Structure 1
Amino acid sequence: MADNYLLKLYSKCLRLPFGRQLFSAVFARKAPYFRTIKPRIQQLQPNFCELTFAKRKAVQNHIGTVHAIALCNGLEMAMGALAEATIPKHLRWIPKGMTVNYTAKANSDIRITAQTPADAWQPGDLDVQVQGFRNDGTVVIEGTITIYISAKPDRN
């Protein structure tokens, strides 16, 4: 995966001052709604992504915890970064579905992870495991984002 465009960009950004912030801002532009949570990708490698975002007024609900949609936004961004950093060049992916369970109040900053097995990248459905954690390590959201993987069409 050394020739993966996203991993190259991530590596290049990490060499710069504020590199994680820069990379996260650039990646969040792929889907502008990602920017609403002001995410920071902390770790990106094939089959794994970790990002964080702060609990702040703009992502809170009426009871002062992080809103469910902000949590799902983080899950989707982590999954998307993982997919782009991992998928073999001859394949493409598209989200197909998302199932989540809210397991505890999200009353702190949030850490999100997405992961897949290394041998999972074949045509068909792939379930990406996603989780969100409070600062104390409690899981506040967990689920699966199913993506559909297919071969890229020939460009003759």
Structure 2
Amino acid sequence: MSQVLNLWKKTSALPLIGTRVFSVAFAQKAPYFATIRPRFTVIEPNRAELVIRKRRGVHNHIKTVHAIALCNGLEAAMGALAEATIPADKRWIPKGMDISYTAKADSDITCIAETDAVQWASDDPDLPVRVKGVREDGTVVIEGVIRLWVTPKPPRI
């Protein structure tokens, strides 16, 4: 089991503070993610979800959640999914993002990343991760694909 998935299982089981502990630890590993204060709610192979609270620190000029904050949330969700899913003999790096903004992000936003198990078994190094951000009323405000480059880990010397 991956370190991320193992940490999620241990911390999310703690009453009241578990998901918060994990979210802070995750954001410390990649400090830029701390700017959105992600609150992870689901981490499992092939799926990760987190919430970005609508607060002043992520607002744009019209007081909705800024587009780049949304992308940051999608990338954090994708990273957690990738770490929880990737086979032990492979490594990944993001290589691109294609995103459409489809509605105003005027509430808290749930960022979701999804893959299918068969994608990780493929020899094709190009792996698309489906991502979307959803308002509290269920409206999709951002959606697209983050493309990963997945390759075998080099042998240890």
TM bin, normalised by shorter chain, reads over 0.9
TM-score, normalised via structure 1 length: 0.96
The aligned runs of 1:3-152 (5 Å cut-off) are 3-17=1-15, 18-121=17-120, 122-123=122-123, 124-152=125-153
TM-score, normalised via structure 2 length: 0.96
Gaps of 5+ in 1: none
- Matched residue SS, 1:65: coil
Structure 1 segments (4+ residues) deviating >2 Å? none
Query: What amino acid maps onto 1:135 in structure 2?
Result: E
Query: What amino acid maps onto 1:8 in structure 2?
Result: N
- Matched residue SS, 1:137: coil
CA distance in 1, matches of 2:19, 2:11: 7
Gaps of 5+ in 2: none
Q: CA RMSD in A?
A: 0.8
CA distance in 2, matches of 1:16, 1:49: 19
CA distance in 1, matches of 2:77, 2:129: 10
Q: Sequence identity of aligned pairs in percent?
A: 58
CA distance in 1, matches of 2:12, 2:105: 29
Stretch of structure 1 that moved more, 9-18 or 49-58: 9-18
Post-superposition offset of 1:8: 1.0
Higher helix proportion: 2
CA distance in 1, matches of 2:77, 2:12: 18
Post-superposition offset of 1:15: 2.4
